[in-house]
Structure 1
C-alpha cells in the first residue's frame, strides 16, 4: 500500500462510523472542507500532527485508535533529507560558503539572535519544537555589489545546525527578464521536501497551503535569493512554525510586513582592507599598506569591487598594488579596471539598470550629472526634464531598488561613487553630448536665477524695491531662513552653475549672482567657496572690460582670501589689483575698500606699520565721500584700525576709535536698514569690549561683549557669534573663572566645527586660565 493510503482509508472509516459528513467533521475539528477532501482523496498524504489530533478528538477516537491514525499519517509525511545527503535533481542545497568572508558581524549577530527566538518553548528529547505564532522572515537588502547573497549564504551556514529538518536555497532570478514564478518556485520546494510530482497541486494557492503545512512543525532554514518583488515572495513564506526564512533582494520589498530587516551598508575602510588581506595574504598587503588603503578608497568600500580588485591581483602575483591603484585613480578607466574574469562591477549595475522603466533610467543617468555629493529631486527634475512630482517618484523607485541612498532627514539623494560612474557612462552612450549639455545648461540657468533671488533676501540697501525674479515663484524660498537653507543645501549646484556660466561666456549672469551673494557671504565666512565665486566674477568683469566691476569683485575676492581662506598673500595681491582698477576709474568707495583689505592682509603678514598707514589712508578717503555706501565702509575701516592699535599695545587709542564708531552707529546713516546698522553697532561693541579687556577693565568689558554676542546670534552669524563668545570668555577670565571656562570650551568646539583657526586661540585662552587656577591653588 502506498505511503499515506492507509491514513486516507482510516480517516474515511472513522468518519463514516461516527456518522459525520465532511462538513460536520470539518466544523468539529476546525479544518477546512478542502483540506479534509484532499486527505480523503489521498492528495494530502501526511497532515500535520496537530491536525491529526484535532480530527481524532472530533471523531472521539480512543487512545489506541488515535495513535494508529497518527502512525499512518506519519508514514505519508515527507522525511527530512539529511543535510549531508548528495544533491539530487530536486534538492536545493545551500551554495558553498565563502572562505574569505569578511565583516558583517553586527548583522550576523542580529540574525543569530532572531534564530534563537525559535528555541523558546522547545521541549526536550526528540519531540519537535512547538510552533511559533509566525515563522520569522529576514529581508536582506542593499544596493548592487554589497554582497547580499554572500552574507545570506554565510549566515545560512552558521545557522544550519539549528535547523536539522533541512536547509533549502532557491534563486528566484529577480534580475532576469523573466523571474521565477512563485508557482514554479513552490514546485521545486515541495519536490525538494519529498513531495512526489503527482501529489503536487496545480493551483498556486494549494501549493502554498501544502508548503505551509509541511513547514508547520519542522525546523527548516529557507534561503530565497534574488527576489524581485513582494508578489513573488509572499506565497513562498511559511505560516506558523519553527522555520526561518532569509530573503535577499536589490529592492526594498517594503510591502512585506512583520519582517526582520537587514539593510547592508558599505564596508568600513579597515574592513575593506581586511577583505583584501584575506584574498591576497597578509604579506602582500602589509608590503604596500598605503596602496591597500588607497585601493579600498577607490573601490568605494563596495564588497564586490574590493573582491574583484583582490581577485585580479591574486591572478597576477607579480603585479604591485600600486599599479592597480594608479589605473583606478583615473575615473574614466575605473570600471574597466574593476573586472576579474566573469566578475564585473559594471555588469552588476547593468542588471539593475535594465530592470528600470525608461523614464527612471533617464532620471538615473541624468541625475549623475548633478554636482556635489548629493542632489535634490528639484535638481534631478531639471536635469531629466521632468516635473518635480515625477522626479520624486523616480528617486523613490531608485531608492527602493538600491540604486540611490536617501538622506535621513532632508529630501535628498546620493549615488555610490562607482554607480555614479556607471550612470555617467550611460548618459554618454544613450544621451550624447548635445542632450547632456542642454540638460546642464537648463539646470545651470535655473540654479543661478534662484540663487540670485535667494541671496538678495540678505540685501541691506533699503532703496532696492524691485523684487528678485525667481524662476519658479510658487516654490521659491520665503524669508531669510528658507533662503539660507536653500543656498546651503544647493551650494554645490549653484556654484557649478556659476562656473558653467563663466565658461559659457554668460558673464553678466556671473556678475549679477556674485553681487547678490555679497551680503549673504558675510553670514557664512566659513565657506572657502567664496574664493571661487569672486574669482569667477573678477574674470567675468575683465572679459566684459568693466574696470569698475573688476575693482568691486577684486575687493570681494581680497575679503574672501583674508577671512575665508586665511591666505593673506593672495588677499594682498587681489586688494592691490583692486586699488589699481579703482583709481583708474576714479571710484573713491572701491579705493577705500581696497586700502582697507590690503591693510588687513598686511597685518596678517606681520607688517603692522604698513597696515596702520593704509588704514589711516582708507579712513581719510572714505570720510571725504558723501555717498551712503561710504558710511558702512568707514565704520569697517575704523573698527579695523582700532583693532590694530589694540594689538600693537595702544588700547586707549583703540577705545577712542571704537567709541567713535559707536557714535556713528547711534546716529544712524541714511539708505541702510536698521538690521545693517545694528550689525555694525554689534561689531563696535565687540571691539569696545576687547579694548576694555586689554586695559584690564574686565567688569566694564562684559556688558558690551554680551550685547555683541546676542546680536550676532540673532542675526544667525555663527562665525561672528563664536568669535564674540571667545572674546567674552577672555573677559570673564578676569572675574569669574568657572563661567569663563565653560564659555571658552563652547567657543573652542564651535570654532573648530566651523573650521576657523580661532579655535587655536580659544585653546590658548583655556590653557592660560588653567595656569591662573594653578597659581591660585598654589597660593
Structure 2
C-alpha cells in the first residue's frame, strides 16, 4: 500500500497517500526532520531530545511523546513510524523521501562520470538537483548534532552542483557551466573548487580576462574571510592563465571522489585518539607540523572489534573538507586467508580516480607510478582498512605531501615512514556505557546504571560486543539489562550470546585465528586453557612442551595480530601476556573442539608443574633452602634456566607477578584432580605470600587445596594445608582458629607418618602458646620438634625455634640467655642465606639490646633490619623494625622522631590488618604521650589497647597495657584507679611475665601500705 511522501530538500514537505499536503510546524517539524535525516535507522530518544531543545525541560520525554503522537495522528496509516527500544524508527521506501532519491541519483551520476559517460552524468546531476527547493529543512529549528547534519546536507547539495558543472565542462558545455557556477558562488564565495571551475569555463569560452577577474574576486573573499592566500590549485591555474598556457589550463580538477562508508551517528569517546590522528593527517597541509615532504601516515592498530574502522571512518569524515579532491577507501582484507593484492587495490583506486580500466597496466610498479602521478599535487585522503602488513600498504602510499594515509590493522605497522601509530584499546567503562545508551536509550541506562556497567564489562568493553548487546536489547524491548547480564554471565556461552543478525564477535576473532600457521593455532588454543589473568613465556613453552625461544616467537606472533595482549613485564623485564576475555573464550572453544582430553590435560599438568618448580625455587631463595615446607612426590616439567634465573634473582618480584596465576593454577589443579600438585603449589608459596602480606591469595589457595585433598583422601596434603591455614590465622590474630587447625594437622601428619611435617606443626603450636603467654607449653613444643627438624636438616625452622625460645627468655627477664639464643639464630640465618629470618631475628636482638640499656646499639640493629626488609618488600617486617626504632628514639627522649616512626608503622599494620602489631604501636604511642604529660589522652588510648588485646587473646600485651594505665592514673593523681589497673595487670603478668609481675606487686604494696 502506498504511504506518505516526504521532502526535506527545502521547507519540510509531507503528503499523505491521497495527495493531501500535511502541514507540520514547530517541534513536530523538527522531530520529523530528525527522523528523515536518519530514515530507516533507529534514533534514540535522548538524541531526539538533544535535537529539539538546547536545554531539555524536565518534561522533555513526555513532550517528545506528544509530538510523535501528533505526527502519527496527522498521517494515520500512511506513516511507518515505530517505537524501538527507547527511540523511534521511521521507515520509508527510497522513492518516498526526496533525500534518498537525491543520494541515489548522485551516486549514479558520479559512477557515470567515472565511466566517462558525461551525458548520462549531467542528466543524473540535473535530476538530483531538481529535487532541491532551497535550504534543507528551511525554517525548522534544531539543535546539537542535528544542526551539523543539516549543514553537511547543504554541503552535499553544493558538491552535487559542482560535480554537475564539471560534467558540463568535460562535455564541452562551458557556457552552461558558467550559468550554474555564478549563482552558486554568489551563495558560496569561499568555494575554491567553484572558482576553479568558473575560471576554466571562462577560458574555454575565450574570456581570459573574465577568468583573471574571477581569480581576483576569489582571492578577495578568501583573504578577507580566512586571512590566507587561495589554495595551490587555484594559484596554479591563475599562473598558467597569466602565462597564456591555455593547454595546461585545460586540465581541470577531477570530480571529487568520496568512497567512505557512513560515519556512526552514535560515535563516542576516543577524544585523544581522534586528536592524535587528526593532527598527524593535517600535517599534510602544514597545519601545526614542521615543514617536510613526507606523506603523513596514521596507523590505527588494535584487536578485532575494538573500533579501528569506526574511528578511521569518523576521522576521515571530519577531514573531508581538508582533502577536497577526494577520500578513497578500501578494505584490504588483511585478516583473511587471502588478503587483497596491492595491484588489485591500486586498480580499484585508479578506476575511482577516473582512469579507464582498459588502460591500466598489469605490472605492479607501473600501476604505482600511474597512481602517484595521478595524485601529484592533489589533496586526497586514503583510508586503507584492515591492512595485513607493511608490504601490502607501501605501494598505496602517495608520493606527495598534499595527500595523507589512514590505515587500520590488527598489527602494529612499525616499518612505514612518517607514521603516527595509535594503539586502540577497549573503551573506558564510562564511554562504553554511553555507547550502550546511544543504542538502547540513555534513560534505560539511567534506570539501571549499575547493570549497564556490569553489562559493558561482560562485553569486555569491546565496542563491537557492546554494539551487539545494545542491538539485542533494542530488538527485544521486553528484555531488561539484567536479563542479558544473566545470559552473558556464563562465560562458556558468552560468544554465542554476542551475535545479532549478521554481526558476531566470534567471527571477528575467527578470521585472525584461521590465518595462523598450525603451531601458532595450537599455542593460541592451549593458552586459552589457562585461567591465569596473565602469563609469562615459559607457560606457553610448557603448554607446547617446547623451548622458550619458540614459545616467545609464537606468542609474539599472536600479539602482532592482537589475539594476545602485552600485559607488562615481570622479573628481569620478561614480557607477560594476557587475553581479552572474549578472545580467551574463543581460544578455549577451539581447544575443546580441536584437542583431545588427554592433550589438554597433559598440557595443563606441564604448566602447573612449571609454576610449582618456579615457586619452589623462589621459596628456596627466600628461605635459604628447601626449608619450612613439605612437598608432594615430584615435578613433571621444569622451565628453561632463563626463567629460573629471574626467579632466583628476585623471588619477591616473581610472586608479585605470579600470585594471581598461582591462585588460578591451584583452582584448576583442584578441578582437574591434580590434588597433590594442587596442595604442593599452595604450600610452596606460603612464605612468599606471607612476606607480601597477600592474605586473600593465601586463604584461597589453601582452602581450595584442602577441599581437593579431602576428596582424594590425601592425608599429607590435608595436614599441610591445615598447617598453612593455622599460620594464616596466627597472622590475622585468630588464635582460636589457629589452635583448631593445628590440632587436626598434628593428628593427620601423625597418621601419615610424616615426622618433618609433624615437627613443623609443633613449632607453629609453640608460637601459638607463646602468644597466649603459655611459656612452658611453648618450650615443650619447641623441644619436641627439635630432633625431627635436625634429622630433616630444616635449619630455617630451627631458626624459628631459637628465636621463639629467645623471646620467651626475654619476656621472663633472662636477658643474657635470650641474647645467646637470638644471636645464634642470626648467625644461622646468615650461614644458610635466609635473609628474611636473619633480619626479622635482628629486630628481636635490637629489643634485647634496648632492654639492656643500649639504645644506640639497638638503633643500629633496627636500622639495618629496616633497610634490608624494605628492599625485600616485607611490609610487616618494615613495620616491626620501624616500631623498634621508635622505641629506641623514645629511650633517647627523641619524642618527635618516635611519633613519626610510630605513624609509619601503624599505617602499615592497619593496611595489612595486623591487630597485634597495631596494639604494640599504640602501646608505644601511649608511652610517648605519658612522657609528654598528655595523661588523659594516654589513658583513653590504653583503655582502647586493653580492649583490643582482650579481643585478640593477647594476655601479655593486655597485662603490659594495664600496668602502664596504672602508672598514668598515678601520675594524674588518681591513686585508687592506679591500684585497680595494677591489680588487673597482675592477673595477666603472673602467667606471661613473672619479673614484670614482681615489679607491679611491689608498686601495689608501696601505694596501699
Name the TM-score, length of structure 1 as normaliser: 0.75
Question: d(CA) in 1 for partners of 2:916 and 2:426?
Answer: 36
Q: Which residue of 2 aligns with 1:388?
A: 548
Q: Distance in 1 between matches of 2:921 and 2:444?
A: 43
Alignment of 1:593-612 (within 5 A): 593-599=763-769, 611-612=772-773
Q: Is the 8 A contact 1:638 1:658 kept in 2?
A: no
In 1, the alpha carbon distance for the partners of 2:878 and 2:420 equals: 47
Q: Do the aligned partners of 1:399 and 1:405 also contact (CA within 8 Å) in 2?
A: yes
Which residue in the other structure is 1:109 paired with?
Answer: 275
- The question of 1:433 aligning with 2:597 is answered yes
CA 549–144 in structure 1, closer or farther in 2 if over 3 Å, else same: closer
Q: Is the 8 A contact 1:668 1:677 kept in 2?
A: no
Displacement of 1:204: 2.0
Moved more, 151-160 or 475-484: 475-484
Residues 299, 306 of structure 1: 8 Å contact kept: yes
SS at match of 2:406: strand
C-alpha contact (below 8 Å) 1:405/1:414 kept by paired residues: yes
Partner in structure 2 of residue 279 of structure 1: 439
TM superposition shift of 1:753: 7.7
Relative to structure 1, the CA distance from residue 213 to residue 511 in structure 2 (aligned partners, 3 Å threshold; closer, same or farther) is closer
**TM-fit CA distance, 1:500:** 5.6
- Provide, for residues 664-686 of structure 1, a one-character-per-residue CA deviation record: whole Å limited to 9, x for no partner: 13245998763578765644553
Does structure 1 retain, via aligned residues, the 8 Å contact 2:765–2:781?
no
- Whether 2:423 is the aligned partner of 1:248: answer no
Which has the higher mean CA deviation after the structures are superposed, 712-721 or 145-154? 712-721
CA pair 380-196 structure 1, distance change in 2 beyond 3 A:
same
Aligned mate of 2:584, from 420, 426, 443: 420
Q: Does residue 471 of the first structure (1) align with residue 644 of the second (2)?
A: no
Equivalent of residue 357 in structure 1, options 514, 517, 521:
517
Q: What whole-Å deviation, never above 9, does each CA across 1:297-338 have from its counterpart, x for those lacking one?
A: 111111111111111111122211111111111111211221
1:575 aligned partner: 742
Which of 221, 233, 247 is the equivalent residue of 1:72?
247
Find the partner of 1:720 among 877, 880, 883. 877
Q: Could you say if the C-alpha distance between residues 181 and 625 of structure 1 is closer, same or farther in structure 2, counting changes exceeding 3 Å?
A: closer
* Residue 442 (structure 1) aligns with: 606
Q: Output the CA distance in 1 between the equivalents of 2:625 and 2:339.
A: 65
The 1:425–1:133 alpha-carbon spacing in structure 2 relative to 1, beyond 3 Å, is same
Q: Distance in 1 between matches of 2:840 and 2:530?
A: 39
| Aligned counterparts, 1:233-244, within 5 A | 233-244=393-404
Assess, with a 3 A threshold, how the Cα gap between structure 1 residues 717 and 144 changes in structure 2: closer, same or farther. same
Report the CA distance shift for 1:499/1:166 in structure 2 as closer, same or farther (over 3 A): closer
Tell me what 1:526 maps to. 694
Deviation at 1:153, TM superposition (A): 0.8
SS at match of 1:656: coil
CA–CA distance in structure 1, aligned partners of residues 716 and 470 of structure 2: 59
| Cα distance in 2 between the residues matched to 1:640 and 1:501 | 40
- 2:386 maps to what in 1? 226
Q: CA deviation at 1:723?
A: 3.5
Moved more, 149-158 or 744-753: 744-753
The separation in 1 between residues aligned to 2:890 and 2:929, in whole angstroms, is 11
For 1:449 and 1:249, how far apart are their aligned partners in 2? Answer: 39
Q: Is the contact made by 1:744 and 1:765 (CA closer than 8 Å) also made in structure 2?
A: no
d(CA) in 1 for partners of 2:917, 2:498: 43
Q: Rate the CA distance shift 1:276–1:668 in 2: closer, same or farther, 3 A.
A: closer
541 and 204 in structure 1: CA distance in 2 versus 1, 3 angstrom threshold: closer
What is the SS of the residue equivalent to 1:612?
Answer: coil
Q: Which residue of 2 is the match for residue 293 of structure 1?
A: 453
CA contact (8 A) 1:530 1:560 kept: yes
Tell me what 1:666 maps to: 823
Q: Is the 8 A contact 1:250 1:402 kept in 2?
A: yes
Distance 2:890 2:435 in 1: 53
Deviations 1:639-658 (A, max 9, x none): 6768xxxxxxxxxx737367
Once the 2 structures are TM-superposed, how far is the Cα of residue 137 of structure 1 from its aligned partner?
Answer: 0.8
Instruction: Measure how far apart 1:162 and its partner are.
Output: 1.5
Structure 1 match to 2:76: none
Q: Shift in Å at residue 463 of structure 1?
A: 11
Between the aligned partners of 1:716 and 1:130, the Cα distance in structure 2 is 48
2:357 is aligned to 197
Alignment of 1:508-527 (within 5 A): 520=688, 523-526=691-694
* Distance in structure 2 (CA, Å) of the matches to 1:559 and 1:762: 20
Shift of 1:106: 0.4
Aligned pairs for 1:489-638 within 5 A: 489-493=657-661, 520=688, 523-526=691-694, 528-535=696-703, 553-563=721-731, 568=735, 570-581=737-748, 589=759, 592-599=762-769, 611-613=772-774, 615-623=775-783, 627=787, 628=790, 631-638=798-805
User: Any residues of structure 2 matched to 1:690-729 within 5 Å, and which?
Assistant: 702-713=859-870, 717-729=874-886
CA contact (8 A) 1:526 1:756 kept: no
Q: Mark the CA change 1:98 to 1:697 in structure 2 (over 3 Å): closer, same or farther.
A: farther
Q: 1:238 to 1:487 in 2, by over 3 A?
A: same
Which stretch of structure 1 is more off in the superposition, 365-374 or 379-388? 379-388
704-713 or 677-686: which moved more?
Answer: 677-686
Whole-Å separation in 2 of the counterparts to 1:104 and 1:763: 49
What residue in structure 1 maps to residue 185 of structure 2?
none
Aligned counterpart for 2:368 among listed residues 208, 215, 220: 208
1:343 aligns with 2:539: no
Q: What's the CA shift for 1:167?
A: 1.9
State the secondary structure of the residue aligned to 1:300: coil
Q: What's 1:6 paired with? A: none
Change over 3 Å in CA distance of 1:320–1:165 after alignment to 2:
same
In structure 2, C-alpha distance between the alignment counterparts of 1:572 and 1:617, rounded to whole Å: 13
Q: How many residues align?
A: 681
Q: Superposition RMSD on alpha carbons, in Å?
A: 4.5
- What is the deviation of 1:346? 1.0
SS at match of 2:773: helix
Deviation at 1:436, TM superposition (A): 1.5
**What does the per-residue CA deviation read over 1:565-585, in whole Å, with 9 as the maximum and x for residues that have no partner?**
665554333123235557887
Structure 1 stretch displaced more, 723-732 or 328-337: 723-732
In the superposition, relative to structure 1, how do residues 94 and 366 fare at CA in structure 2: closer, same or farther (>3 Å)? Answer: same
SS for the counterpart of 2:250 is helix
CA drift at 1:430: 1.4
Say which SS state the counterpart of residue 319 (structure 2) adopts.
helix
**In structure 2, the residue corresponding to 1:226 is in which secondary structure?**
strand
Aligned-residue offset at 1:427: 0.8
Pairs within 5 Å for 1:298-313: 298-313=458-473
Instruction: Using the TM superposition, give the Cα deviation of residue 139 of structure 1 relative to its aligned residue in structure 2, in angstroms.
Output: 0.6
Bigger CA radius of gyration: 2
SS of the residue corresponding to residue 262 of structure 1 reads: strand
Higher mean Cα deviation, 671-680 or 243-252? 671-680
Asked if 1:375 is matched to 2:550, the reply is: no
How far is the alpha carbon of 1:273 from its aligned partner?
1.1
CA shift, 1:726, in A, is 4.8
Under a length normalisation based on structure 2, what TM-score does the superposition of the two structures give?
0.59
Note the C-alpha offset of 1:635.
3.6
2 CA distance for matches of 1:678 and 1:131?
60
* 1:49-60 correspondence to structure 2 within 5 Å: none
TM-superposed deviation, 1:513: 5.5
Distance 1:408 1:753, change over 3 A: farther
Q: CA deviation at 1:474?
A: 4.2
CA contact 1:511–1:537 (8 Å) conserved in 2 = yes
Which piece of structure 1 moves more, 477-486 or 166-175? 477-486
